[in-house]
Chains A and B, each alone.
Chain A
Amino acid sequence: MLFPTTLPSRTHACVVITGAGIFTALGGGWEENAKGFRAGRSAFRPVSLFDVSRQRVKTAAEADLPSTLPKTSLDDRRLDRLDRAGKMLLLAAHEAMEQTGWESGGNVPIVLGTTGGGMLFGEAYFRCAVEQSSRQRGQAVRAVCYQPQVQARLVMEALNFSGPITTVSNACASGSNAIGQAWEMIRSGRANRAIAGGYDSLCEMVFSGFDSLQALSPTICRPFDAGRDGLALGEGAAVIALETLESARQRGARILGELIGYSSSIDMHHLTQPHPQGTTTQAVMKSACASAGVTPEDIDYVNAHGTGTLLNDSAEAAAISEWAGNHGPELPVSSTKANVGHLLGAAGAVEAVVCLMALREQWLPPQLAFETPDPACRFPVVHAPQDAKVNVVLSNSFGFGGVNASLIFRRWT
């Protein structure tokens, strides 16, 4: 039963990550992405998925989907019901499940963050319905499959899992919230394992939305740079497999890292603008540290939300500087949105996997185009590839609507 739950006692179980899958414009899989993030490679190019000729900005971090998808339980007909976003989710989930080695057929909860779900189906449905042509073939399938829970269900079926599906949609904090909520589920003893992550694909409506707000950079996305002029959109998915340490040890599983802290709250300053001093962000970072039992001095790297917009980055820089205090000048910070763009509902999940890469391989992801720090930055921005001793990292995500989330990961040795 979901309620009342019969938990033996509050366990506060140690939660570890035993699988991680990632798909971005840098490529498919851990290895390809680690290589790209470590080198600070940028993946932006002209958008080819839809017509951008009348948009102000014409580039994004568009991913290349492989021509064939991994063999799963889905036949071709059902595979066609996954849109571009769902296919990226399948690729990431498949990699995570291959890594973790969980036996299939299990009842495992899945918690996913997204802002659009199968939005490409939704857009196609709208265009076809507006035309009112007699050819309405495929509309019933689009009406069903644009919904995020259907995309998630198909991915569960593909991988032979059958747990409850939760779809979190707190805008660009969704991916982090999904991972955080899965962590809470396991930590409190309500589940021993969970699959969590985020996914979103580029689509015309959202691209046009950010362009209409003049939030897209007409040049290069440069988070925390004094000369920054906006964000760049990207697409992709990331999925992690979380379980109790006990469960991972019983299986002799390879542990990629430990998720030790999470917090989320809401900034009510404005629907699309953060409080200029980042007060909620500060509170969430403090609260995440408290849940992890660490202080800012214990954090070796911050993967910032860092969109590249004027308002987000100045507020986040103020918040990180204030929160880190005297530790600030020694605390490396970067935003990997400079490499793969803003992945919206997938952002928090992709950045969580980047944090795991940094912890396992002991490097920091650089922003190569970074030149002049914003005056609010009282911390160094990683702007060249570097190896580093990284034991604990914090990842920030904020969304339209004001939801802020911070995750804290620890190296597993």
Chain B
Amino acid sequence: MSRIFVAGLGAVSPAGWTVAAMRQALDAGTPLPAEPLDQHRQKPLLGRMVPKPPSRPEFLSHPRLRRASAITHYTAAATLEAAAPLLSASSDARFGLLVCLQSGCVQYSCRFYDETLRNPATASPLLFPETVYAAPASHVAALLKNVPSVNSLVGDPSSFLQGLSQAAQWLDDGNVDACIVAGAEEAHWITADALWRLDRMASISAGAGALCLCRDAELSIGVELAAITDGHTYVGKRGRTAAARAMREQLTSSSGNGSGELLCDGLGSGWRAGGPERAAWRDWTGPRLSPKLVLGEGLMAGAAWQCVAACDALANRRFTAANVSLVGFNQQAAGAKFQGVSDFCRNQT
């Protein structure tokens, strides 16, 4: 199988509309402020929202994005940031696009269903097409233009790594020159309400993260995809704790418990949901980064932020390798390892 390199990163988060903004917030380490999502709710439903962009993104002038929802805007911005180095290097690169979601287009879905319950005869036909999981991928593919392969995957946050694995396969098959894997979510009071029922300490957030993968080491930002573990599914007697442990063992079988590598984990402020992951990494002595503590629970976007933060740390030569731990809510535990690529290696490939 081909070696797979990271050619670009993109992020939209409560910290702002770039990877740099996210890095700055993570470096500061202070949880970003949360605000009420709906004043009319009985419960205090708080979320960490994406701020307005400093200037109107150019892609919003594309006719396909006029009525698109926030999740598409986030996906587009993160994807374009991740693809920018390749787009400037080659105008005819063929892109694969994988968009991973958990809640998906929840804002328009709730709005449309609310209109349906009030009176289906007046429910807006403009909203309905934007409710489908495939809408963000469709719009972003139209922006990128040369996209022979597109897929939308739904699952808990751990399935972001299935997206990375499928991208590696597409690249290996030679059907595309580069492949973007994005994870995105938008905030809505109903998602916050659902999260509140499962973990009262967690605070919902929104945004997107994207990795642009390629086979050409010359195009890399100095980061290589080293490994993705199996998905350790929660079925039968194997619950989250056992699956998290199995993932950790598979991921660090060669590197042990933290020998100079970064661990980018999925722990947030919610204690209950994080228990199995905390237990699996209890003996980790190396450096650790927990983006959710600062950015909030971004669901699939959160998984993407973890991968982006890990790769960004390697690209900036802060570490030589980084492990990403994703212990999903209700599907599986999976992990990934990225490693830095020295200039020597890049020239040799």
Question: Contact check: which of B110, B124, B155, B230 meets A149 at CB < 8 Å?
Answer: B155
**Cβ A156 vs Cβ B235 within 8 A:** yes
Is residue B168 within 8 Å, beta carbon to beta carbon, of the partner chain? yes
**Cβ B233 vs Cβ A265 within 8 A:** no
Is residue A266 within 8 Å, beta carbon to beta carbon, of the partner chain? yes
Is residue A391 within 8 Å, beta carbon to beta carbon, of the partner chain? no
**Cβ A169 vs Cβ B135 within 8 A:** no
Chain B residue at minimum C-beta to C-beta distance from A3:
B228
Interface residues of B (CB under 8 A from A): 1, 4, 41-42, 64, 101-102, 104, 109-110, 112-114, 116-117, 119-121, 123-125, 128-135, 137-139, 141-142, 145, 147-156, 159, 161-162, 164-166, 168-169, 190, 193-194, 197-198, 225, 227-231, 233-236, 238, 250, 329-332, 334, 336
A209 CB, min distance to chain B CBs, angstroms: 4
Q: Which residues of B contact A55 (CB under 8 A)?
A: 120-121
B142 CB, min distance to chain A CBs, angstroms: 5
A: interface residue count bin: 35 or more
Is residue A49 within 8 Å, beta carbon to beta carbon, of the partner chain? no
Inter-chain CA distance A214–B155, complex, in Å, is: 31
**Cβ A205 vs Cβ B112 within 8 A:** yes
Counting chain B CB atoms within 10 Å of each CB, the highest count among A171, A210, A214, A266 belongs to: A266
Is residue A362 within 8 Å, beta carbon to beta carbon, of the partner chain? no
**Cβ A1 vs Cβ B120 within 8 A:** no
Chain B residue at minimum C-beta to C-beta distance from A144:
B330
Of A326-334, A365-373, A395-403, the one touching chain B = A395-403
A53 CB, min distance to chain B CBs, angstroms: 9
Q: Which residues of B contact A399 (CB under 8 A)?
A: 134
A377 CB, min distance to chain B CBs, angstroms: 27
Inter-chain CA distance A188–B1, complex, in Å, is: 11
Contact A149 B4, CB 8 Å, known A164-B230, A169-B153, A188-B169: no
Is residue A148 within 8 Å, beta carbon to beta carbon, of the partner chain? yes
**Cβ A165 vs Cβ B233 within 8 A:** yes
**Cβ B233 vs Cβ A129 within 8 A:** no
**Cβ A205 vs Cβ B153 within 8 A:** no
Inter-chain CA distance A157–B236, complex, in Å, is: 6
**Cβ B134 vs Cβ A149 within 8 A:** no
**Cβ A115 vs Cβ B132 within 8 A:** yes
Q: Which residues of A contact B162 (CB under 8 A)?
A: 2, 164, 166
B37 CB, min distance to chain A CBs, angstroms: 12
B92 CB, min distance to chain A CBs, angstroms: 16
**Cβ B197 vs Cβ A140 within 8 A:** yes
Q: Which residues of A contact B227 (CB under 8 A)?
A: 1, 3-4
Chain A residue at minimum C-beta to C-beta distance from B334:
A2
Q: Which residues of B contact A166 (CB under 8 A)?
A: 153, 155, 159, 162
**Cβ B148 vs Cβ A265 within 8 A:** yes
| New A-B contacts (6) at CB < 8 Å, excluding given A212-B120, A212-B125 | A54-B120, A166-B155, A169-B104, A171-B134, A208-B128, A400-B132
A245 CB, min distance to chain B CBs, angstroms: 22
Is residue A127 within 8 Å, beta carbon to beta carbon, of the partner chain? yes
Question: Contact check: which of A4, A160, A188, A265 meets B149 at CB < 8 Å?
Answer: A265
